[in-house]
Structure 1
Amino acid sequence: MTSEQVTIGITSSAIVKHSSIGCEESEMISLSDDVVTEIILRLPVKFVARSMCVSKTWRATISDDYLRRRLPLHLSVAYFPADDPARGNAPRFACAAGGDRLLEDRDLGFFPFREGAVVCDACNGLFLLRSAEAPRFYVADPLTRRWVALPLPSRDARLSVLAFDPFSCPPRYRVINFTGWRGRVAEVEVFSSETWAWIARDADLGVPAGSLSGSMHFHGGAVYVLASDPDCIVRMDVDAGLACTVVELPEPTDGDGPVAHSGGRLHYVTGHGDLLKIWVLDDSPSTRQWQLKHAVKVHDVVGRACRGGEVRFLALHPEKDAVYMWSPWKLVEYDLTMKEITGAWEFGGKDHKGEKNRIVKTWLVPSWWYLSDCLSTGHGRCKISSS
């Protein structure tokens, strides 16, 4: 922690101390809103959350959209460690809290059914887990360590995707289950945290439904699914009755090409050998075509930072031109504009630093989202547990 952070921490602690002995708020807070905002922006996320208890003024400042939109993005991953008799092969959650390690590394010990469930998706900080014995789904928040059991769907799912929008007010999530195919029609069940019910729908995909891959991405109220016959992306609008639009791809897909959004625009990533290509869709009405934005030699970039030969693309930064690459030991952030590594993190705590692992999902969400808990304000029939 820097001297600046220490000073800020002392300031915050002093204010909390004054609060505990019953000082009036006018005596306790003598800082302007601008100064309070600058202090809060320099605090780690945990300290920001604690600062909401300092006073009504601080709580109002932290709750203000202006400050929240300025808080940095928070890098998080879900991963499986290498086989370890002491830890098993259960999924773990980690987030980049500083330094060169994913310091906030923890298991899912708060979730009581973890041994009989698998992580089938994650979206903007929430996990979607499925029971191995029954078609039961759970949504879990690994940071606040809360979980909820969803009602049973009527049919088994072939593909499942979690759609969580932290920018909605109030925050809501949905689960989209693909349960069957009929030509170009996908049979779908959609769960909403608002209605607390599953609704069966048919979605005309515009392409053979059986050509959908497991590569899915949620952004701005729509699910983007990769398909291979023809090579395209199917955009399914969750907010408009699952209306579908087909977007042709610039290059053939092997069924695993990542789809992501960065800067509000749709990107498609292809990897052929050692070359990583990043395409961006120009979605203006007059053009609507793909443009090659970056071409990167993977091992020339991250091979020096990652031990071992295996390197894989994980995610695009949602706001800037940066990619996240993975090796069995490390996660690397590479700035595509500056052409340099801007971050590298090893997995595990001090006793497991540099351990091998396999990534399930990587995401960056605004830090302010961690100041609220969407599972604690769910439907009245929502069973919630925490530890």
Structure 2
Amino acid sequence: MAILKCTSIDSGTGFSLSEDMLTEIILRLPVKSMARSKCVAKNWCAIISDGYLRRRLPLHLSVVYFPDNPARGNAPRFACAASGDSHLLEDCDLGFSPFREGDVVCDACNGLLLFRSAGTPRFYVVDPVTRRWVALPRPSRDARLSMLVFDPFSSRHYHVINFTGWHERGAAVEVFSSETWAWTARDVEFGVPASSLSAASMHFHDGAVYMLASDPHRVVRMDVAPDAELACTTVELPEPMDGGDGRVAHSGGQLHYVTRDGGLLKVWVLEGQWRLKHAVKVDDVVEGGCRGSEIRFLALHPEKDSVYMSSPWKLVEYDLTKKEITGAWEFGGKDQTDEKNRVVKTWLVPSSWYLSDSFASGHVQC
């Protein structure tokens, strides 16, 4: 913070920095120092909050996981990749939040968590980094399945989608918008049997939810737009999911389909039609990968050809072009030695500190 102190001089001194110079300084600060820098001056706050700076920030890795340790209970954990040269995933305490034993973590999306209070239809959206949370208004119907959709690159608003009843080829849906602060009831037709959809494969990108269907084998795209119908389109998959083990993700703005074929991890990209982009041995990505269910695909890097996969003890980044491991993180904490963990969500966003924009509506409970 030494640089910040020497530049936080009022305008009466005649000393100032251009916005370009301030931006370059801020980009080199640790995330927490950057957040505190909003208090230096109004122009610092404006630059830090600006979308241009946000797009230039390095991406930070965060995960939601469950430790396989009865002594610690079955509560979810949130962790971020440690700063500097550390190769640890550091836990972030969720004690500030309304989460209680028996509550359910319904979903997580790009830095925000969705909790549901046990035995009730009450929902909470939680930002584990800025330690803020909001209680959502009560929906009119109980949810069969809930998902949180949020894209910090394009909007500070988020949606919660409750599937409240299933039809043969569709569903009854309630959608909450943080912009209108209200739930809206809708019906959606998927274009495939509702029973064939995989909830585990749901993925949100640029205003649309993507889901995989197994019968027939297709990607279903459902548009999520304010005051509009949840229109759906489908695209046939290049090959069937192996035992339902398939995922969709975006990288470089293009839709990708990731699946396992025995000991191979295959990555397809949609370019008008599907093209097999990469095929690598799972054992090359995570040692012991061919042993199956404990090795999980988590995410694609949003900008480069890298895949993130986890074993019970660590998470790795693998460069699909260079065919080499470019990052590895272990779960931190003295009480986590030799402890198995199950990662359920992974994301990379510029900085979760910016997610506080999503709680600017005044409905905040800290």
What's the TM-score once normalised by structure 1's chain length? 0.86
* Distance in 2 of aligned mates of 1:222 and 1:156: 23
* Distance in 2 of aligned mates of 1:175 and 1:128: 8
Pairing 1:200–2:179 present? no
* Distance in 2 of aligned mates of 1:166 and 1:347: 26
Amino acid at match of 2:256: H
Q: 2:219 aligns with which of 222, 226, 233?
A: 233
Cα deviation for residue 159 of structure 1 reads: 1.9
* Distance in 2 of aligned mates of 1:177 and 1:351: 36
Give the direction of change, closer, same or farther, for the CA distance of 1:312–1:225 in structure 2 (3 Å limit): same
Give 1:131-210 correspondences, 5 Å limit: 131-169=117-155, 171-210=156-195
Give 1:202-281 correspondences, 5 Å limit: 202-214=187-199, 215-239=201-225, 240-253=228-241, 254-281=243-270
RMSD: 2.4
Q: Aligned with 1:39: secondary structure?
A: helix
Pairing 1:73–2:56 present? no
Cα deviation for residue 84 of structure 1 reads: 4.9
Query: For 1:107-160, what per-residue CA distance to the aligned partner results, in whole angstroms no more than 9, with x for missing partners?
Result: 321123331311121111111112231222211111111122222222222222
Q: 1:314 aligns with which of 295, 298, 306?
A: 298
Give the direction of change, closer, same or farther, for the CA distance of 1:280–1:137 in structure 2 (3 Å limit): same
Q: Number of paired residues?
A: 361
Give the direction of change, closer, same or farther, for the CA distance of 1:152–1:32 in structure 2 (3 Å limit): closer
Cα deviation for residue 28 of structure 1 reads: 7.9
Pairing 1:10–2:2 present? yes
* Distance in 2 of aligned mates of 1:183 and 1:233: 17
In the other structure, the counterpart of 1:377 is: 360
* Distance in 2 of aligned mates of 1:36 and 1:354: 44
* Distance in 2 of aligned mates of 1:36 and 1:277: 43
Cα deviation for residue 324 of structure 1 reads: 0.4
Pairing 1:300–2:284 present? yes
Amino acid at match of 1:12: L
Amino acid at match of 2:297: F
Amino acid at match of 2:356: D
Contact kept? 1:108, 1:114, Cα under 8 Å: no
In the other structure, the counterpart of 2:348 is: 364
Q: Which runs of 4+ in 1 moved over 4 A?
A: none
* Distance in 1 of aligned mates of 2:322 and 2:15: 42
* Distance in 2 of aligned mates of 1:28 and 1:359: 52
Contact kept? 1:128, 1:137, Cα under 8 Å: yes
* Distance in 2 of aligned mates of 1:125 and 1:373: 10
* Distance in 1 of aligned mates of 2:148 and 2:299: 17
Amino acid at match of 2:88: L
Contact kept? 1:94, 1:102, Cα under 8 Å: no
Contact kept? 1:331, 1:346, Cα under 8 Å: yes
Q: Aligned with 2:56: secondary structure?
A: coil
* Distance in 2 of aligned mates of 1:273 and 1:66: 43
* Distance in 1 of aligned mates of 2:121 and 2:45: 41
Cα deviation for residue 204 of structure 1 reads: 1.4
Amino acid at match of 1:167: F
Query: For 1:148-180, what per-residue CA distance to the aligned partner results, in whole angstroms no more than 9, with x for missing partners?
Result: 2222222222222111122344x1111111122
Amino acid at match of 1:191: F
In the other structure, the counterpart of 1:35 is: 21
Contact kept? 2:78, 2:128, Cα under 8 Å: yes
* Distance in 2 of aligned mates of 1:351 and 1:113: 22
Q: Which runs of 5+ in 1 are unaligned?
A: 1-8, 283-287
Cα deviation for residue 29 of structure 1 reads: 4.6
* Distance in 1 of aligned mates of 2:99 and 2:46: 38
Amino acid at match of 2:130: T
In the other structure, the counterpart of 1:3 is: none
Q: Which piece of structure 1 moves more, 96-105 or 313-322? A: 96-105
Q: 1:348 aligns with which of 332, 352, 362?
A: 332
Pairing 1:338–2:327 present? no
